[in-house]
Structure 1
Amino acid sequence: MSLDHPQQLLKPVSLRLIYLTFALALLAELLPLPVGSMRWMPDFVGLLVIYWAINQPRLVGVGSGFVIGLMADIATAGLFGQHALAYSITCYLAQIRQRQLVMFNLGQQSLVVLGLLLGNQIIMVLARMATGSAFVGWHYFIPPVIGALLWPLLTKLLLAPYRQKN
């Protein structure tokens, strides 16, 4: 970031857009996909929790991550509370360094998002294993890599409606 070229100012974010993005991400979790394709699909709800926690920390916080996680648990019919725990911890970790993260370029943010998504998956694996489930395999850690690769596209897509017209 150069000091002689300030970043572009953005319009205020609508709470309606935040709700809409989470609803679409939860609907994406419900799509009937072929069995093999689920290995490659990133956690869109987790990506949005991270995105909104970084870009709108006053509107989406740890409590929001917990509630959205409970909704994701209900939608996926998984272990109740695993997404809620993972999203609230991930949201907390994103928000404690939020001021630094917004100053990073998209490549640096992608690396941080990769770490957060991997942490998210580790929390969910540990929650399942604590209840007696077997380890799901190393392929479970492929979607965070894909999510990190999609981070720049997601950021550009969600910022597009809020750019000021000059």
Structure 2
Amino acid sequence: MNRPHYILLPANPLFVIVSICGAFLLNILPWGQWYGVPDMVALVLVFWSIHQPRLVGIGVAFFMGLLMDVHDAALLGQHALAYTLLSYFAIMIHRRVLWFPIGTQALHILPLLLMAQMVQLVVRVAVSGKFPGWLYFLESVTATLLWPLASWILLAPQRRAIDRDETRPI
């Protein structure tokens, strides 16, 4: 309870856009098809949907889902549906999640990421009839473990003071 609470600066919309584009670029790297490699777009979308729900919402999630569908040559709308639901449920719980410490936030994020993966899996199995195996869900666990690092990186620009002063902690 004695840890300091810093007042964050407003999020720079350009930084939000760059972080989402960077997550997309990380997703299109060749190792994105291995088991356990997290869906960085989903992680960044859920982060910004929780921290900036008016800036990043369902429309951005749908657009990023369409981009991922085109990149993965998946059924058009598979990622879009999953990301849209992910963003919707993240926005629904965003006030609650922000009250918790970072570890508990990660535990709130895990069911959201698993739900998004389950939606993608249902669409994939309905179309192709192939179940990828239980290691498929390792992706959500890895993304949950990356939540503290993602929070630290994505909130870093908001933690700096407008005019620096040695006697002020924010």
Q: TM-score, normalised by structure 2?
A: 0.89
**Larger CA deviation: 25-34 vs 121-130:** 25-34
Q: How much does 1:161 deviate? A: 1.3
Q: What is the rounded CA distance, in whole Å, between the counterparts of 1:155 and 1:34 in structure 2?
A: 21
The answer to whether the 8 A contact 1:29-1:76 is kept is no
Aligned to 1:126: 122
Q: Which runs of 5+ in 1 are unaligned?
A: none
Render the CA deviation track for 1:84-135: whole Å, top value 9, x for unaligned: 1001101111111111111111111111111111111100000111213311
The answer to whether the 8 A contact 1:43-1:143 is kept is yes
The answer to whether the 8 A contact 1:114-1:144 is kept is yes
Aligned to 2:143: 147
Aligned to 2:86: 90
Partner AA of 1:154 in structure 2: A
Match of 1:79 among 67, 75, 79: 75
Distance 1:148-1:34 versus aligned 2 partners, 3 A rule: closer
Q: Which runs of 5+ in 2 are unaligned?
A: 162-167
Partner AA of 1:91 in structure 2: S
Distance 1:110-1:137 versus aligned 2 partners, 3 A rule: same
Q: What is the rounded CA distance, in whole Å, between the counterparts of 1:150 and 1:61 in structure 2?
A: 21
Q: How much does 1:51 deviate? A: 0.1
User: What RMSD over aligned residues (CA atoms) do the two structures have, in Å?
Assistant: 1.7
Q: What is the rounded CA distance, in whole Å, between the counterparts of 1:158 and 1:135 in structure 2?
A: 34
Partner AA of 1:129 in structure 2: V
Match of 2:50 among 31, 35, 54: 54
The answer to whether the 8 A contact 1:39-1:140 is kept is yes
Partner AA of 2:29 in structure 1: L
Partner AA of 2:60 in structure 1: S
Partner AA of 2:102 in structure 1: L
The answer to whether the 8 A contact 2:78-2:123 is kept is yes
Aligned to 2:15: 17
Provide the secondary structure at the position in 2 that maps to 1:64. Answer: helix
Q: TM-score, normalised by structure 1?
A: 0.91
Aligned to 2:99: 103
**Larger CA deviation: 52-61 vs 20-29:** 20-29
Q: What is the rounded CA distance, in whole Å, between the counterparts of 2:105 and 2:20 in structure 1?
A: 21
What is the total number of aligned residue pairs between the two structures?
A: 162
